[in-house]
Amino acid sequence: MSLIVASWNINSIRLRKNLVAKFLQEYSPSILALQEIKCTNDQFPNSFFTDLGYQYQAVNGQKSYHGVALVSRLPLRNIQSKILGKIDQSRHISAIFNFAGREINFHNFYIPAGGDEADPDVNPKFAHKLDYYAEMQNWFDNNHFRKNQIIVGDFNIAPHENDVWSHKQLLKVVSHTPIEIELLNRLRDRGEWVDIIRKIIPESEKLYSWWSYRARDWDKSDRGRRLDHIWASKDIAKLAKNAFILRKARAWQDKPSDHVPILAEFA
């Protein structure tokens, strides 16, 4: 028996629900975490996902902005959401499901992007991002997070030099600045999390999950960043047997999301 978890910043679920249907029908993940659904809870297409076999759902929506959701083939319970970063926005949802005799705590995050200027004194959005990560770290210091945990989502940081198209040129660009990389690495190491994508795919390989809409030909220019992540506690990470980023989904229609799905399989 395998558990396949997936994460996708869909950038409007109502605009791109047919893309999500294509993904679910072709790859059949056990559970899919969505970010930037950009709708309220009552606007979320529940019956659409039920018809696709994903009858268990958890939604933390917000009008026009942000919003996160889970759709699952596995029963979900203890559904919760948490506000981090001192601003009331819909950026987190979690649930518990059973797999292979374990109760897995599954968290879905949409962490703030941080704006354009990497200076919290002049850019409130960047200050919000730093605050969000600081509160995440304090929360994750709880021993509860050391076992039976999977966290996924758009973390909006590409930590390794091969997670961006040009390490040198992006060092001053929000998402790859030294302060952000240090934040993410400290969060990972302090909590003993395992980056599942990089556990399977070595850091020597260039790897992206996001390409800007600004590029006329995103595939040819290939100026991507790996902003989306799947982490697990060490006990769950031992079960990981496969992971990949679905690059081709960036070209599935004329107006795709600027992110693509990421997946991990646990045995």
Place of tokens 């009552």: 42
Question: pLDDT class for 139, splitting at 50, 70, 90?
Answer: very high
- Beta strands 240-245 and 194-195, pairing class: unpaired
User: Cα–Cα distance between 130 and 170 in angstroms, integer?
Assistant: 18
Residue 26 has pLDDT above 80, yes or no: yes
Is a pLDDT exceeding 80 seen at residue 254?
Answer: no
- In the structure, what pLDDT confidence band is assigned to residue 246 with cuts at 50, 70 and 90? very high
CATH label of the domain that carries residue 155: 3.60.10.10
Count helices and strands (H / E) in the chain.
8, 14
Buried-exposed string 171-180: b where 16+ CB fall within 10 A, e elsewhere = eeebbbbeeb
Residue 215 has pLDDT above 90, yes or no: no
Range of the domain at 157: 3-266
Percent of the chain with pLDDT over 90: 96
Phi-psi region of 140 (alpha: psi -120 to 50; beta: other; left: phi over 0): alpha
User: What is the reported pTM?
Assistant: 0.97
- Residues 161 and 185: beta-carbon distance below 8 Å: no
Neighbouring CB atoms inside 10 A of 166's CB total 11
| Residues 6+ positions from 47 with CB-CB distance below 8 Å | none
AA identity, residue 160: H
Predicted pLDDT of residue 120: 96
pLDDT band at 255 (very low <50, low <70, confident <90, very high): confident
Give the tens place of pLDDT for each residue, 149-169.
999 999 999 999 999 999 999
Give the DSSP H or E segment for 92: strand 92-99
What is the amino acid identity at position 127? A
Q: What percent of the chain has pLDDT over 70?
A: 100
Mean pLDDT computed over every residue of the chain: 96
Q: Give the DSSP H or E segment for 131.
A: helix 124-140
- Give the number of domains in the chain: 1
The identity of residue 266, as a single letter, is F
